[in-house]
Structure 1
Amino acid sequence: HHEKRDYKFPKLQKAKWVYLTSMAKGSEKMFPKLLSYLKKTKLGFNPGTYQLNLGLNKLKPILKQAEFVCMNTEEAQKLLKTNKRDFLYLTKKLQATGPKIAIITDGANGTYCYDGKDHWYCPIYDVPVVERTGAGDAFSTGFLSALLYNKPIQEALAWGTLNSASVVQKVGPQEGLIKLNKLKAIHKVHPKFKSRKLTKKEVTTSNRYCPKTHKKW
């Protein structure tokens, strides 16, 4: 998807959701038609390297239409032009750029989320890692799937994490993707695995925590 090509926005039927992720130079030409299409469709956005290189100003029209945006820590720092690793600050700042929900993944440290009202945290689902290619997209599509089924953020974060955990156990970005019935089965076996809303004390702590592991909480 990073090869040089002449991007044209396809003629799409009505859909509940669109998922926008990494594309190459020239893909921004489709933004005006995409924005028009999104008037009746929800957007999940996981920007790639080229899209991030466009900068915040050029991405703002897309971000303002997004139901959620998801990226890793370094990508968020780059987009927001900051070196801070304060995840309360980063998620809140990212959400302020337009999306209803901002999600930042931080590898083995878990995932942080802000929905404009509450801060959320989801630990990793600890598995042996073979390759991390596709982990971000797996998380985002798992999260989107949960929203599609009208699940709350708390469960959506768990779905995304489980899908991502499955992908990193395989080689390549698609081999480990799991279907809904398998995801539900995994979650049923491990019912205690879930994300949680941060308490007021955690949100206001002077440490502004960047924990090495969620167990410290």
Structure 2
Amino acid sequence: MEILRYGSRALLVEVGDLDRAGALHTALLRDPPPGTLELVPAARTVLVRYDPGTTAPDRLAAALRAVDLSATADDATRSGTGARSGTVEIPVRYDGADLPEVAHLCGLTVPEVIARHCAATYRVAFCGFAPGFAYLTGADPALRVPRRTVPRTRVPAGSVALADEFTGVYPRESPGGWQLLGTTGISLWNPEADPPTPLVPGTAVRFTPADRPHPRRP
């Protein structure tokens, strides 16, 4: 664990891999050190923003080094511990342009890909790339596929996709290089809501097949 000053009101904790970052984030959510204001997890780091009037950076750093990382990121999914409890269910119409290619890369049939994608319980590890875009971990290892060689210049909002060890849902139209499995009609980004997305770090997520067409977006 390496702890770096990040301006005058935050510390950046580097832990080296996704599992340890998830374990640290889970542990800090359960028992935040005094003065902690905000936690921002990423793939290999957790940013800890603090109140300098309540705690000193050296004291906070010592508390962070004492955190027990024996808890795993999966604990957050099993126990519901995280920034939001419960499980978010996302209905998916599996009509993605890359679904046949994903099946080919995985050595599976298209129905097998869909079944495996729906069988897993995912966890929001961190958010990034675009507002409301959540990186979900917990996918079946058999579905691990690389990013597209040539990214698309336009990926429709609501597209459900895979890349490497992550699953994600594009909350708005944007460029993107992930493999498209299908689409969902539910909105995952509303800047006027609090929080603006239901997919905050620590949230458990399940995908369910949707056989009927999605309602038209307003």
Comparing both structures, which one devotes a greater share of its residues to strand? 2
For the pair shown, which has the larger CA radius of gyration, 1 or 2? 2
| Greater relative contact order (Cα < 8 A, sep 6+) | 2
Alignment TM-score, normalising by the size of structure 1: 0.30
Alignment TM-score, normalising by the size of structure 2: 0.30
Comparing both structures, which one devotes a greater share of its residues to helix? 1
